[in-house]
Each structure stands twice: as C-alpha cells, then as structure tokens.
Amino acid sequence: MELKKKTGGQLIVEALEAQGAERVFCVPGESYLAVLDGLYDSQIPVTVCRQEGGAAMMAEAYGKLTGRPGICMVTRGPGATNAAAGVHVAQQDATPMILFVGQIETGMRERDAFQEVNYRQMFGGMAKWVAEIDHAARVPEFISRAYHVATSGRPGPVVLALPEDMLVEEVHAQVAPMMQPVESYPSAQQMADLDMMLKAARNPMVIIGGSRWTETARDQLTRFAERYDLPVAVAFRRQMLFDHLHPNYAGDVGIGINPKLKSRVEQADLLLVVGDILSEMASQSYTLLEIPVPQQKLVHVHPGPEELGRVYAPTLAINASPLAFASMLEDLRPSVAPAWSAHREAAHQDYLAWSGARPEVPGDLQMAQVVDWLENNLPDDAIIANGAGNYATWVHRFHRFRTYGSQLAPTSGSMGYGLPAAIAGKLKHKERMVLCFAGDGCLQMTMQELGTAAQENANIIVIVVDNGIYGTIRMHQEREYPGRVSATTLQNPAFARIAEAYGFYSATIRSAEEFGPAFEQAAAGNRPALLHLLLDPEAITPVKSLTAIREESQKA
C-alpha cells in the first residue's frame, strides 16, 4: 500500500511527536498556518502566548527543566526579532531550544518581500545552527539534526526557518527515531590524574555550573564531595545544583559574592570546575583567575570541547558532560582522610552567616522579613523564577535552594524572564508551587503573559517588588553620575488591579506583616495570584541605600 503523502507542516508536527516534544509555545502567524493545522490533529499541547519574546523564554525555561529542546514557533520578520530575546537567553545559559520561524516563499527571496529576513545572518552569531528547510522531504532530517545540535556538546538554540511553499508541499518522508544526547565520558587516565591531583592538594575547591545536569548527577557529585570532604560552590544562577544546607556547600560565585568565598577561591591550590565556563559574572569580571594560566591548578570539565582552553588554560582538561563525569566520580575513593575538613567547615559556616544576615532597609516594607517568611513556609521543591534586577539579590543571597529543578534564572541577565519562566515551570510541574519573583521594570517587559497564565490555568504566584525605578541602572547611575538622574524613573500602574482584571487573586503589600497572610490566600486559591510589594526606592540593595551610594561617589 502506498503511504499517504503529507504536507511539510504535517511532517514537522510528526517529527516533533517522534522526538517526544511535550509542548509547543507559540504566537500564531499566517506564515506557518500549515504547522498550526498539523497541530490540530496532534496530542502535543500548544500554549498560545502574547508576545514572541515571552514564548521564546517559556520554551527556554522548559528546556532548562527537561534537558530536551523547548519548542517555540513564531511568525516571520517581527515575530522572529521579538523571539530573539529568548534565543539569546538559551545561548548564554547553554539551554537546548528550537525556534521555528515562518518564512516567505522560496521564489520571493532577495526581493525585500513582506517581512523578509535572512535568518542565517540574523541569528548566525547567536544560535548553534540556523537553517531553512527548502524541501518538505527533508523535514525529518532537519528536525532530527536540530535535536542533536541543540542537546550535544554545549547545548544551545537552533533556528529553523519554514518557507510557506515548503509547508504546503506534499511528499513521502520517513520519520527519524527519537534521539538521545551524545555523552562524552572522561578516560580512565583522566580520572586517575584527577585522583592524584586531589591527593596532592592542600586547599581544593569545587565549582559547579552550566547545563546537562540531572538529579542523579547532582547526587553523585554530592557523594563525591562528601567522600573527599570538599567545599562546593555554585556558579552564577545555578544555585539549585547543590543543597545549600549541606555541610559541604560554600556559596555562590556570582554577582555580589561573599568576600570570604572570593578569597577562598583565590587561595585554593586546586579548582575543580564542572560544567561551567567561569564567564564574566562567575569570574568577577575575569579577575578571579589569572588569564590565560590560573595560579591555581585547574581541572576543567565541560561537554563542549571548544570551551576547554578558550579563556583559561587548564592543568587537566576533561571533555565530558556533567552527567557523564559525575557517574565516573562514583569510583573515586580517597586513600587517606582529607586534610582540609576545617577549611570545608569554615566555608560552610561563612555561607550560613552570609545568607542568614537580615539587614534592615529604608522604608516600611522590610524585605528581610519577607524572605524570612518564605524560608519558613515554602516547600523545598518550590520553583522560583526571576529575571534581572537588584530585587533578585533577595532571592540569590538569602534563599536557600535545597532541591534540583527549583531555580529558573537567566545567567544572561535578561529582564522579563521571570514571568514566562514561571509559567513554563508550572505547566511542566503542575503539582509544585511556582513563584515568579520580579521587579517592577522587569515584570513590565513581559507583563502581557499574565494572560497566558490565566488561559493555561497556570496557578503561579507572582511577587512584584516595586520601587518605581529601574533599580540596577539607577544604582550604577548614582555611582557614576551622582545626583544626575536620567531615564531611570518609572510611573507604574496598580499591578494588583491589572492582575485582578486577568482573573488573578491579587493584593498590595505595604509592610512585611501583610505578606504572610496574603501569600497564604494566594496559595489557597485555585487560580494564579499576584502580590504587589511596595518597596522604598532608597532600599536599592540589602546593604546600601541610594543616598549612601550617591554620597560615597561624591566623596570619591
């Protein structure tokens, strides 16, 4: 019997089903109607978003949570340029993601047709691979390759453009099997070399980060740290990779690093860096380690061979995914009792003191009390999503992450990320509590996605920390140009009323005493919720006011 021909649009959906795609995030467009029609007959759920940047960020967050590419579909031209924000997050965060973009018909190229964009040029420096599928028969091949590229080595985004005429072309095509990420393992000699370096060390430290982790790999690395009694730090916005109350946890190596942890990294004689590349934030603007040859002996483990030796020349380079490397750690055993137990204990106590501080800030709303309430009441597996801004310090410094998969935060520092990421987190884990922690400026980058949360019954809790300014920029402005305020003041809406219009439970919080009861109301309701926290703009950081920053700069 002759197989029935299928359109390119149908083949794309069939290929996604074969690859186990769990969900599609999209903003619809006439340029890929044939794909939308194919999804009509599919079991893949479709989340309809309000703007392509939000859709791409949801797909990126889904990729973070699952380790398989998050899927985003947008229309050509403006749809693609809007989605670029999420593609950049995926690139910097090493997250597997595939962006499908509608495209003009192949016969119209190079005429500046309606919404025509050369996507290879546009995304070429941002995505791991950019291609156009000109022939429907090649759809299974291209999508299989896209999955392999997005997940292998250092993961990242892939962009596939879909010309309209290809999407309606009818062909016979064979479905490609579901792919599995390619794992690169350390050699026996490399593991033996690592063991010898640990035996010779007197002050070692582990720093973990990046992607391609699993809960199993996290547990295996934790057991390795326990056997060798090693202090373990996490890279910027990768805090969920180690239990913060574990006695081996030393803190996070990122923005606003604990000065004592910074000193410990600098004074270490052996650094074992797993999965991370120690880029600008983790390296304290490339000052933490000397370039190209660090003073510390460096064992660098990374799944992307191009990252090994790119900035830092390692003593021992191991091309392996964190998952594969952690599995090999199970065979390592110290032959003598580690000599650095006191060092490890001191590092953990320094972290507890640093994260346990509860500074008072100007104004009626004391964020330290809000943090305390959350720490005492949130379940350990609660997922916290945030974007970028000074407000995020209250999460990153003071919240103690306990479980794998509990953090969605952009290492790229992308504003607007928290709300889309929280929605994706709730759609993946409906049984877990999911919080979006956002600043007023940050939330308004993607605030329209409140409608997506309402439509999907994604019962997230949004905590908006509103100080009426672009806080991080104002802080730097006062430091560099004290008293010369320009373009950093915001006239904000009544966020609670906007949320209420979307069907959310909402409340405006003016003091910490109001927070707990309002949060309990939010958690008890069977709908999304938003809590609008009014913070004094003087409370620009947990430890300094805007006035203090301005005065320090004027004195300098």
Q: Which of 175-184, 271-280, 447-456 comes out lowest in average pLDDT?
A: 175-184
User: Band of the pLDDT at 116, cuts 50, 70, 90?
Assistant: confident
Burial class of residue 202 (count of CB atoms within 10 Å of its CB; 0-12, 13-18, 19+): exposed
What is the reported pLDDT for 165?
96
How many Cβ atoms are within 10 Å of 382's Cβ, its own excluded? 20
List, in order, residues 6 or more apart from 317 with CB less than 8 Å away. Answer: 300, 308, 309
As a whole number of Å, the end-to-end CA separation of the chain is: 83
Higher pLDDT, residue 107 or 16? 16
CB 181 within 8 A of CB 124: no
List, in order, residues 6 or more apart from 485 with CB less than 8 Å away. Answer: 474, 477
| pTM, two decimal places | 0.96
Residue range 239-265, pLDDT digits in tens: 999 999 999 999 999 999 999 999 999
What is the reported pLDDT for 199?
94
Q: Are strands 170-171 and 6-7 parallel, antiparallel or unpaired?
A: antiparallel
Q: Which of 554, 367, 551, 359 is nearest to 464 (CA)?
A: 367
What is the reported pLDDT for 2?
61
Q: What is the DSSP letter of 272?
A: E
Residue 293 Cα distances to 193, 268, 288, angstroms:
19, 14, 12
In this predicted structure, the answer to whether residue 114 has a pLDDT above a threshold of 70 is yes
User: Band of the pLDDT at 335, cuts 50, 70, 90?
Assistant: confident
Average pLDDT of the chain is: 96
Residue range 258-298, pLDDT digits in tens: 999 999 999 999 999 999 999 999 999 999 999 999 999 99
CB 80 within 8 A of CB 119: yes
